[in-house]
Amino acid sequence: MKFTVIRERFYSTLQKAGYFISSKVNDNGLLRCVHIEAETEGITVKTSSVTEYFIGEVGGKVEESGVVLVDFKTLLEVVKSTQDTKIDVENLKGTLVIKSKQGTVKLPTLDTSTFPQQPKLSETEALDVTFFVSKTTQPVLFAAATDETRPILTGLCFDFLEEKTNIVGTDGFRMSLMSLENVKKGGKKKRMIISARSLLSVQKVLQDQFKKVSFEEGSGYVLFSGEGCVVYVRLLDGEYPPYERVVPQDKETKVIIKKEELLNTIKTASLFAREGSNMIGFGVVGDELLLTASSASLGEASLRVPTIEKEGSDNKITFNYRYVLDFLQVVSGEDVSLQIINPFAPGIFQMSKNPNLLHIIMPIRTEG
């Protein structure tokens, strides 16, 4: 194998490939390597983790075809530090030789046959790419679990129904639900659960410029195609919780408040809620929302936020304030509503201008 490549393009593709390198200590060392194949059509870079498979294309001048497998991190740092506009790469008797004006670097190679095989998808179904871009998933993605105690909760559930598609994220304490109308009505019902971390990496690498999103039922993979690269993401296997049952069907109280006022007030109250379970009380009293928090060492706060509208009677509920802040910091809009049934039922937050999005938070049960 022998080729010449523009350093900047090569480095850019390697950076993208790096999102799909395994970072787990116990994983096979091959998953921390990069597979490079040079053909007359160009140069292909591949990396694979346990759940993703990346393929990137790099233009270059190929003198001899061939395949090589080397340590990813070392190669990335070598290409990064090289100052030349172009670099020469050659595989000589089991050693990858990288030549530049600065000199020569030699990297040991591994057996390419041990690298994971590319997933195969045959009869794929194209999915609406708008369901997978950051603008759509951001208000949902953050609610997915980050620890792997329950692996299925680390994913987003894409529930394709006949008339609409529900996108759901939950960690068991909170849940975001986005409902979007399908462009094509009456489609086949299906459900896929995609790792939130994997989807975020795909969005960053493809910069939301998806050419196509494909799915083959039974394959266990969804394929994201972008400019110069594709990413296969393995779907999470398991039964997603029955999220529909969590959505309250009734409400006793609903208030609408200014999002920024609520956000700033929570930040102030949180100074007194950082001990224990981060509790802040949300009480609807007359035409105000009263936020209360106390700390044995710091004191207490009782802060009022005026309501724009109110439906129903006075009510109260207690939340972990961090969950409320997380929601308010990722959504856009001026006004937010809070719906309460009672202190023991889930509360619902919703942006006034985005009725398709619900954010549900489980309350903290308190005495009195």
Is residue 189 over pLDDT 70?
A: yes
Read off the pLDDT band of 186 (50, 70, 90).
Answer: low
Q: Which residues contact 151 (CB under 8 A, 6 or more apart)?
A: 236, 238
Q: How far apart are CA 317 and CA 258, in angstroms?
A: 19
User: Under a CB-based contact definition with an 8 Å cutoff, are residues 164 and 178 in contact?
Assistant: no
Q: What is the percent of the chain where pLDDT is above 90? A: 78
| Predicted pLDDT of residue 249 | 86
**Average pLDDT score over residue span 112-139:** 91
Q: Tell me the H-state helices in 233-347.
A: 259-269, 321-330
Is residue 147 over pLDDT 80?
A: yes
Read off the pLDDT band of 366 (50, 70, 90).
Answer: confident
340, 149, 198, 144: CA torsion to nearest 10? 0
| Predicted pLDDT of residue 24 | 63
Read off the pLDDT band of 26 (50, 70, 90).
Answer: low
Q: What are phi and psi of 51, to 5 degrees?
A: -115, -5
Q: How far apart are CA 289 and CA 303, in angstroms?
A: 8
Read off the pLDDT band of 367 (50, 70, 90).
Answer: low
Read off the pLDDT band of 368 (50, 70, 90).
Answer: low
| Predicted pLDDT of residue 187 | 66
Question: How does the average pLDDT of the chain come out, rounded?
Answer: 92
From residue 35, alpha-carbon distances to 3, 30, 190 in Å are 15, 10, 34
Top mean-pLDDT range of 27-41, 83-97, 180-194? 83-97
| Structure-block tokens of residue 108 | 């040991």
pLDDT tens sequence across 319-348 = 999 999 999 999 999 999 999 999 999 999
User: Under a CB-based contact definition with an 8 Å cutoff, are residues 193 and 154 in contact?
Assistant: no
**Average pLDDT score over residue span 67-73:** 95
Q: How far apart are CA 279 and CA 187, in angstroms?
A: 44
| Predicted pLDDT of residue 29 | 73
In which region does residue 261 sit, left (phi positive, over 0), alpha (psi from -120 to 50) or beta (all else)?
A: alpha
From residue 366, alpha-carbon distances to 218, 343, 363 in Å are 46, 8, 9
| Predicted pLDDT of residue 365 | 85
Is residue 294 over pLDDT 60?
A: yes
Q: In what order do the strands lie in the sheet with 357-361?
A: 190-195, 155-160, 164-170, 174-181, 357-361, 347-351, 335-340, 253-258, 309-312
**Average pLDDT score over residue span 170-187:** 88
Q: Please name each of the domains of the chain with its CATH number.
A: 2-114 (3.10.150.10), 126-240 (3.10.150.10), 247-361 (3.10.150.10)
Q: What is the pTM of this model?
A: 0.90
Residue with tokens 């989807």: 199
Residue with tokens 């001990």: 275
| Predicted pLDDT of residue 72 | 95
| Structure-block tokens of residue 82 | 């090289």
Task: Write out the E strands in 25-163.
Answer: 33-39, 42-48, 52-58, 60-64, 66-71, 86-92, 95-100, 103-108, 125-127, 155-160
Read off the pLDDT band of 274 (50, 70, 90).
Answer: confident
Q: How far apart are CA 168 and CA 179, in angstroms?
A: 9
Is residue 67 over pLDDT 70?
A: yes
